[in-house]
Amino acid sequence: MIICRTKQEVQSLMGDWRGEGRSIGVVPTMGALHEGHLSLMDIAARQCDRTVATIFVNPLQFAPHEDFDAYPRDLEGDGAALSDRGCDALFAPDRSALFPADFSTNISVAGVGENHCAVARPHFFDGVATIVAKLLLILRPDAAVFGEKDFQQLAVIRRMVRDLDIDVRILGGPIVREADGLAMSSRNQYLSAEERAIAPALFRTIREAGETISAPGARWDDVCERATKAIIAAGFSSVDYVNFVDASTLDPLERAGPEGRILAAARLGETRLIDNIAVAPVRAA
């Protein structure tokens, strides 16, 4: 696996591959890789001739009170995992390689980038859209793969890429879960043993809510409210939201028709966990 630390290095490599007619698939990450990320590498490898992972803990998407400094970093371990998985190149730039001191451009996505996670993290999706645009324009891959665990993030990226005419296919990879249902996340390593035992209740609850919503006559608002209470009852500290939405617009789903999704975010002590589940087919309420 080739490791690139600068834009010039990675662009030279991409240029060589494009010159050989190779298609390129990219998996942008913040490192602290787990099977969820590695499954995205597999998708990239099935779709493209060459695969690139990027590892960059993006300062733009952390608020001052959030966990930028504490975010887990293990470049050596990540590199070994990527190499074992057959990844062809790793782009792991320093902050200064991507952000000049007077960097001042921001991309924001209204609609799909509002509500849900944007309520608690108002600048998060701007930070995501801006860094993803940069990475896509530096690497110019044929495809880029993002996990469905960050479902709103995926929607924001799809919209941004379409709106700005960035020439890349965006692919979503299914959520990878632990044996007990907990969605894999780099932030799971923040959990104490006690919190880790409580954590699977998030998925269990939204899965049950999805079954209830799919049943005829269900009152969707009530289902989300009951799910919120169930997550608290299971031991979570607080619930940011449990929302039932149209899977493409992320608008609240009020009648049957489009493909639905339940999105949820809740806190266990200091750790914020998110999860989501497809709800289909949606029947009349």
Could you say whether residue 137 binds a copy of itself (CB under 8 A)? yes
The stretch near a copy of itself (CB under 8 A) out of 40-48, 103-111, 181-189, 257-265 is 103-111
CB of 11 to a copy of itself, least distance (A): 8
State which residue, 168 or 268, has the beta carbon closest to a copy of itself.
168
Nearer to a copy of itself, 231 or 247 (CB): 247
The separation between CA 40 and the C-alpha centre of its own chain, rounded to angstroms, equals: 11
The correct pick among 48, 87, 107, 253 for binding a copy of itself (CB under 8 A) is: 107
How far apart are alpha carbons 151 and 117 in whole angstroms?
10
One of 52, 90, 117, 138 touching a copy of itself (CB under 8 A): 138
What's the CA gap between 276 and 203, in Å, rounded? 8
Q: Does 103 bind a copy of itself (CB under 8 A)?
A: yes
- Show the tokens assigned to 237: 């500290």
Residue 8 or 238: the one with the smaller Cβ distance to a copy of itself is: 8
105 and 60 Cβ atoms separated by less than 8 Å: no
| Rg, C-alpha atoms of the chain | 19
Among the listed ranges 22-30, 87-95, 110-118, 141-149, the one in contact with a copy of itself (CB under 8 A) is 110-118
Are the C-beta atoms of 47 and 171 separated by less than 8 Å?
Answer: yes
**Total residues in contact with a copy of itself, by rule CB under 8 A:** 30
Q: If binding is defined by CB under 8 A, does position 163 make contact with a copy of itself?
A: yes
Distance CA 276, CA 129 (A): 20
Cis peptide before 174 (omega within 30 of 0): no
Q: Taking CB under 8 A as the rule, does residue 270 contact a copy of itself?
A: no
Q: Torsions phi, psi of 240, nearest 5? A: -75, -45
| Among 56-64, 70-78, 134-142, 219-227, the segment contacting a copy of itself (CB under 8 A) | 134-142
Specify the length of the chain in residues. Answer: 285
Compare residues 55 and 213 and give the one whose CB is closer to a copy of itself.
Answer: 55
Choosing from 16, 35, 94, 167, the residue that interacts with a copy of itself (CB under 8 A) is 167
Per CB under 8 A, the list member of 1, 3, 6, 7 interacting with a copy of itself is 7
Q: Is 249 in contact with 157 (CB distance < 8 Å)? A: no
Residue closest to 18 by CA, chosen among 48, 43, 63: 48
Please tell me the distance from the alpha carbon of residue 143 to that of residue 136, in angstroms, as a whole number: 9
Q: Among residues 34, 37, 65, 123, which one is catalytic?
A: 37
Is position 123 annotated as part of the catalytic site? no
Could you say whether residue 120 binds a copy of itself (CB under 8 A)?
Answer: no
Q: b/e map of 237-275 (b: 16 or more CB within 10 Å)?
A: eebbbbbbbbbeebeebeeeeeebbbbbbbebeebbbbb
Question: What tokens were used for 33?
Answer: 């890789």
Query: 5 with 94: CB under 8 angstroms?
Result: yes
Draw the binding track, 12-51, toward a copy of itself (x: CB under 8 A; -: no contact): ----------------------------------------
Q: Is 93 in the site for a copy of itself (CB under 8 A)?
A: no
Contact residues for a copy of itself, defined by CB under 8 A: 7, 100, 102-113, 129-130, 133-134, 137-138, 140, 159-160, 162-167, 249
List the catalytic residues: 37
